[in-house]
Amino acid sequence: MATSSQPDALLSARVSVRYGEKPVLRDVQFEIARGEVLGLVGQSGSGKSTLAMAILGLLDRKKAHAEGTLAFDGSDLLQLRERDLRALRGRKVALVLQSPLSSLNPALKIRTQLKEAWGAHASGPSADCDRTIRAALESVSLPSSDEFLRKYPSQMSVGQAQRVLIAMAVMHRPALLIADEATSALDVITQSEILQLFRQLNRSFGMAILYISHDLASVAGICDRIAILHQGQIVETGTTEQVLTRPLHEYTQRLMAAMPKMPQPQRLAAAKAAAL
């Protein structure tokens, strides 16, 4: 489903991906404006993570074939060389995955891992590195003390580990943050805290977020617009209120019918207020 062109679009996509002869994404079209939070919703196997990997240039090039355009900040991501993509990942586009304890290196202290994230796109005296690390931790409401930085991932809660991952992701103030099921492994209270954190980062840094989830309740609490992905295609896009309260596509209607309670406008407003 095509979207109308936005003059302030940060990412404008029209992409197809196949593995061998099997299509995974079929002419997926969407845009993300600068500073916008776009929710990408779909069931398991719909192609959500494949799309995230395509944006980051992390598809297995021996198995996956991507075609179309991924116009990001003046460049087509599908045409960039690996060297250029490495320079972009973490600096202009960052990723937060589902399982923080799997994403962090269990053998390295938090300080070491944050230093590596800083050194990937910056250089200078150690004082600059320390200052950036502490600012990143404070931006996600984590302590920046030496005691905390000496910890290993196994010595912190899952929620703290997820905040460390987010601190690493936003350290270089990327224009786009991709959160791929970033709250699905968390308990309900921690999930709410992380959603509030994403919204806070979005507002504080003007950072666009592609929030990928199968959980409509969390999407309702954070996203400005929603795109529904079904069997490798975007079947509906619109504002959060429109998609969740007046769905047009039959598949979106079935998603809403499967929810225990359909979000009404007042509940939607309350969810958004809680995330601010």
pLDDT tens over the chain, length 276 residues: 434 445 579 999 999 999 988 999 999 999 999 999 999 999 888 999 999 999 999 999 889 999 999 999 989 999 999 999 999 999 999 999 988 888 999 999 999 999 999 999 999 999 999 999 999 999 999 999 999 999 999 999 999 999 999 999 999 999 999 999 998 878 888 999 999 999 999 999 999 999 999 888 889 889 999 999 999 999 999 999 999 999 999 999 998 888 766 455 555 555 555 555
Domain boundary residue, one of 124, 157, 173: 173
DSSP assignments along 252-274, one per residue: HHHHHHHSSSPPPHHHHHHHHHH
Q: How far apart are CA 53 and CA 185, in angstroms?
A: 20
Domain shared by 46 and 132, yes or no: no
Domain shared by 184 and 47, yes or no: yes
Domain boundary residue, one of 150, 173, 196: 173
Domain shared by 222 and 87, yes or no: yes
- HSE, side-chain direction, 13 A CA sphere, residue 51: 37
Overall domain count for the chain: 2
91-104 pLDDT tens trace: 999 999 988 888 99
Please give the residue range of the domain that contains residue 39.
Answer: 1-92+177-270
Residue whose token pair is 């090039």: 61
Domain shared by 127 and 252, yes or no: no
Domain boundary residue, one of 118, 141, 173: 173
Domain shared by 126 and 2, yes or no: no
Task: Give the residues across from 22 on adjacent strands.
Answer: 19
Task: Give the residues across from 178 on adjacent strands.
Answer: 95, 210
Domain shared by 150 and 222, yes or no: no
Residue whose token pair is 């936003």: 170
Domain shared by 13 and 70, yes or no: yes
Domain shared by 63 and 24, yes or no: yes
Model pLDDT, residue 44 = 87
Model pLDDT, residue 218 = 87
Task: Give the residues across from 213 on adjacent strands.
Answer: 41
Domain shared by 127 and 81, yes or no: no
The pTM for the full model equals: 0.90
Is 275 contained in some domain? Answer: no
User: How distant, in Å, are the alpha carbons of 35, 80, 146, 224, 275 from that of 8?
Assistant: 9, 22, 41, 15, 24
Is 276 contained in some domain? Answer: no
132 with 162: CB under 8 angstroms? no
- Token digits of residue 51: 């799309």
Model pLDDT, residue 108 = 97
Domain shared by 169 and 265, yes or no: no
Domain shared by 5 and 73, yes or no: yes
Model pLDDT, residue 4 = 43
- Token digits of residue 52: 């995230």
Model pLDDT, residue 1 = 40
